[in-house]
Structure 1
Amino acid sequence: MTQHKKERNLLQFNIDDFAQLALTLSTPPKSLTFGRAFYRFQYQQQQYWLKTQDPSAHPHYVTGFLNELDFYRQGMTQSHWPCILLPSQIVLCAEAVHPYIPAGQTALILSDAAPRITDCTALSVWQIKATLMDMIEAVQQLHQRGWIHGDLKKQHFVQYQQQTCLIDFEQAQRLNLTPAQQGLTATPRYMAPELFQGAEKTVQTDIYALGIIVYEWLTGQRLAAKNYQDWAYLHCQYLQIQLPPHLLQFETLLTGMLAKQKQHRFMDIQRVKECLITENV
């Protein structure tokens, strides 16, 4: 790897480096069937991820991967993005530089990072609030740069060098722009009620997804549904906020994030932040 001063979020591997890498395949079986591949590797005692996509595979996966590459390309040109993006690099492999990376494929490399959200049972209320603030501020920075994540999940919050970062931007889209990609591009577990009715994603759908993440984290239980229709019923009709007694101070926060009607939900992430700050904890 070339060694010289660079922005925090820019990795600088050379093509020749890839021939020396010992890649370990870490892809879920379902993703492999759609041409998606994730690899882990170590370089100079640092851990990294490498992500590729077969361009002739399922169009949904190909479109998502290309969208994520475009997101990172735009982020790399902005000096104030490192606070929410992992160090990254996009590499076009014009030739087969590694047995696992065919010629013509593009690879996305990311520094490895630890999960940001872990079991909260041993945390104090103050520690929970601090973690929530980190998550909210990460999403706020994304929105302030004019982007919606579009597919927030617990595993998309990571910690790198004591900084909360976001990952997996396959469904990211510019604010106030209708995406070219149509169809279901969100995970039903985290979908706001209006998405089940065909509405477009907005800042408020990100807020709802974040609310589900927080709710499951605080209760230590995952919401359950058998199929897409059951998820729709759950989010649109049945979901009720029931927190443990020692965490009831977060009920107002979750009520504002998980309101079924958009007009009753927090209108932007700043309102979420302000509510958390004023909670009596």
Structure 2
Amino acid sequence: MIQRKKPQNLLQFKDVDFSNIHLMLKTKPKSLTFGRCLYTFEYQQQRYWLKTQSLNSHPSIEDGFRNELLFYQQFLAQANSASSQPDFLLPFQMISNFKSLAESHMSGSAALILSDADLLLGNCAEMSLQQIKQTFLKLLDAVDQLHQLGWIHGDLKHEHLVKYQNRACLIDFEQVQKINAIHNPKNLTATPRYMAPELFQGSEKTVQTDIYALGIILYEWLNNQRLSAKNYHDWAYLHCQQLNIELPQPYLAFKQLLCGMLAKQKQQRFTDIATIKCCLVTENA
């Protein structure tokens, strides 16, 4: 097997490679009931993840996986141009028929393989203010590149941000959508912890809802503490009314930035990533 040749961002596993590969199931119990399977495996001292979805199990979950595959599919068409491969993607591969590879585990129509990567945001208490700024700038660059390609991530959260070969990368594109695409608000799928106030009020996802999610991610990271709420109603109250930005003394220089990212009124929130980066680099942190 050739691991990552041309183009750099594409893995090149073959069916025969899986004859000696042990797939370890890592799916959460609830996801298993929806037909989702997530495996990890090692090959030539490298670790990978494989995600697949069984058919006729849960329509909305199937739609999410199909949406992610379609998102990755567009970059296969650019396979002969390494310069066109986005920096925010991990090396990946799509397999059209996973059943032939691991029928004993489950049956599915397709699979997505990704290189393993560590979480991007480590313990900020062990980092200087400059290191924190540089790490967040890398993240902003990744999201900005996604937006410049015309996409909203739609489900940004701490665990969807990873680092690979000194790059900030994004994963889990099941909720990705085109900017300005029209969607039925009744079909909204999002994580309440990171939802902008307007999403609780039936509005559509936008670049600014991605920005709000990034603000929550940064806020929790700097506080080394996750926000908490008991249920969807409590999350709505927290984001729409209760959230007040309070930071530890060493990180007060980030407060203005967070106020612009977490403004409850969309009209008062930063409108694009470029504005956030400008604010970040001019802070006295």
Is the TM-score greater than 0.5?
yes
* Aligned ranges 1:92-171 → 2 under 5 Å: 92-93=96-97, 96-100=100-104, 102=106, 104-171=108-175
The corresponding residue for 2:232 is 228
How far residue 92 of structure 1 moved from its aligned partner, in angstroms, is 1.3
- Hey, what does 2:54 align to over in structure 1? 54
What SS does the corresponding residue of 1:212 show, helix, strand or coil? Answer: helix
Query: Relative to structure 1, is the Cα distance of residues 4 and 212 closer, same or farther in structure 2, using a 3 angstrom cutoff?
Result: closer
CA deviations 1:88-111 (Å, max 9, x no partner) are: 010012753324455552110000
Aligned mates of 2:4, 2:93 — CA distance in 1: 15
**Residue 243 of structure 1: SS of its match in structure 2?**
coil
Higher alpha-carbon deviation: 107-116 or 173-182: 173-182
Q: Which runs of 4+ in 1 moved over 6 A?
A: none
Distance (Å, rounded) in 1 between the aligned partners of 2:160 and 2:44? 26
**AA partner of residue 41 (structure 1):** F
Kept in 1, the 8 Å contact 2:220–2:226? The answer is yes
Kept in 2: contact 1:67–1:169 (CA 8 A): yes
Mapped contact 1:27–1:36 kept (Cα < 8 A)? yes
- Superposed displacement of residue 2, structure 1: 4.1
Q: Which moved more, 1:52-61 or 1:213-222?
A: 52-61
In structure 2, what is the Cα distance between the partners aligned to 1:277 and 1:182?
39
Relative to 1, partners in 2 of residues 1:100 and 1:158: Cα closer, same or farther, differing over 3 Å? farther
Tell me the CA shift for residue 81 of structure 1. Answer: 2.9
Structure 1: gaps spanning 5 or more residues: none
Q: Per the alignment, in what secondary structure is the counterpart of residue 124 of structure 2? A: coil
Equivalent position of 1:75 in the other structure: 75
What is the letter of the counterpart of residue 59 of structure 1?
P
Distance 1:249 1:104, change over 3 A: closer
Tell me, in whole angstroms, the C-alpha distance in 2 between the residues paired with 1:83 and 1:145: 12
Pairing 1:280–2:284 present: yes
Provide the rounded CA distance (Å) in 1 between the counterparts of 2:98 and 2:253: 55
**What code does the residue aligned with 1:215 have?**
Y
- Tell whether 2:24 aligns with 1:24: yes
TM alignment of 1:184-199, pairs within 5 A: 184-199=188-203
> Which stretches in structure 2 are left out of the alignment for 5+ residues?
none
Q: Matched residues in 2 for 1:58 and 1:276: separation?
A: 42
Aligned length: 281
Q: Whose helix proportion is higher, 1 or 2? A: 2
CA contact (8 A) 1:53 1:62 kept: yes
The separation in 2 between residues aligned to 1:3 and 1:212, in whole angstroms, is: 36
Q: Which one of the candidate residues 244, 255, 258 is aligned to 1:240?
A: 244
**Cα displacement (A) at 1:240:** 0.2
In structure 1, what is the Cα distance between the partners aligned to 2:19 and 2:105?
A: 10
Q: Write the deviation string for residues 190-210 of structure 1: whole angstroms up to 9, x where unpaired.
A: 000000011000000000000
- Partner of residue 175, structure 1: 179
Worse-matched range after superposition: 254-263 or 119-128: 119-128
Assess if the C-alpha contact under 8 Å between 2:208 and 2:271 holds in 1.
yes
Q: Normalising to structure 1: TM-score of the pair? A: 0.96
Q: Quick check: 1:156–1:167 contact (8 Å CA) kept in 2?
A: yes
Q: Given the two structures, how large is their TM-score scaled by the length of structure 2?
A: 0.94
